[in-house]
């Protein structure tokens, strides 16, 4: 391994252990979704999981994308910021996420989505850090000396990939970002999803950005380790660290009953060009 920490760990709130009956008794149902799906359906499924969390359910979904897809953050001015003609010419799939943040190129990664009642993990900041502690430990389990970035304030919502800079609390290794996440709270529940880069970098985002863009500072794990990290290896690492911190996770290999049907009802929104490029649902 050729990555060294190089960063000062941040101070984070310590949640009670499962034995103490506190927030670590999250124990979400773990859905290892081994069917790579198009971007619009992945976002529709995550939206449906948020609805289930509003009813008290707790879910951790691990998934992938097919075809690779460019996603925009909920509040990004995508039509102004990115070259739609070039995106079309390159044949890129594109979607707008229900969560915030900046653009992400989803290819050769493991994506996670956690949906649960918001009160289980506390404030937005507390939840963000708690989830990233699990992801940091998963990256360490894979052989990289990862840390949480020092609290330097949120990354500016300017042009460029989500991975072009780090906000406080994000997972970094050797000064580079290895996990990018965004969170949405609605109806007393939270959805946080994000990307653990395994193979592909974020150069595509810079390629389609109008004008100048920050350099790509993403850090795919395979590049850091000089060896391939498979999706199954990454999923097993997240499974192990989440189970260790949050208690044993009930496991599912298939979608829960009715979830995909409910996700289909969100499909028109996430397939809509008006939603994707302008942030409106269209007609």
- Residues forming the active site: 162
Whats the size of the chain, residue-wise? 283
- Sign, CA torsion 94/38/63/129: positive
For 13-108, strand residue ranges (E) read 29-32, 59-63, 69-72, 93-96, 104-106
Residues 6 or more apart from 276 whose CB is under 8 A from it? 72, 78, 94, 95, 96, 270
Question: What six digits make up the tokens of 83?
Answer: 């070259």
What is the Cα–Cα distance from 256 to 270, expressed in whole angstroms? 21
> To 5 degrees, how large is the angle CA 237–CA 238–CA 240?
65
């Amino acid at each position: 391994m050729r990555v060294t920490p190089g960063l000062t760990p941040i101070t984070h709130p310590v949640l009670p252990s499962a034995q103490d009956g506190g927030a670590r008794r999250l124990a979400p149902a773990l859905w290892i979704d081994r069917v790579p799906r198009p971007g619009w359906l992945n976002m529709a499924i995550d939206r449906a999981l948020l609805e289930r969390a509003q009813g008290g359910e707790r879910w951790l979904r691990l998934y992938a994308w097919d075809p690779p897809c460019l996603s925009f953050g909920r509040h990004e001015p995508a039509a102004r910021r990115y070259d739609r003609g070039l995106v079309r010419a390159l044949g890129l799939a594109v979607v707008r996420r229900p969560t915030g943040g900046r653009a992400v190129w989803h290819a050769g990664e493991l994506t996670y989505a956690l949906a649960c009642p918001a009160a289980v993990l506390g404030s937005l900041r507390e939840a963000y850090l708690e989830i990233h502690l699990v992801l940091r430990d998963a990256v360490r389990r894979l052989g990289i000396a990862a840390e949480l970035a020092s609290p330097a304030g949120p990354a500016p919502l300017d042009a460029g990939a989500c991975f072009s800079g780090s906000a406080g609390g994000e997972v970094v290794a050797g000064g580079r970002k290895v996990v990018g996440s965004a969170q949405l709270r609605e109806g007393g529940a939270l959805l946080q999803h994000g990307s653990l880069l395994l193979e592909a970098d974020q150069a595509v985002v810079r390629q389609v950005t109008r004008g100048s863009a920050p350099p790509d500072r993403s850090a795919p794990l395979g590049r850091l380790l000089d060896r391939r990290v498979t999706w199954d290896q990454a999923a097993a690492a997240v499974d192990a660290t989440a189970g260790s911190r949050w208690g044993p996770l009930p496991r599912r290999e298939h979608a829960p009953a009715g979830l995909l049907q409910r996700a289909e009802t969100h499909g028109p929104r996430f397939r809509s060009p008006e939603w994707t490029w302008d942030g409106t649902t269209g007609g």
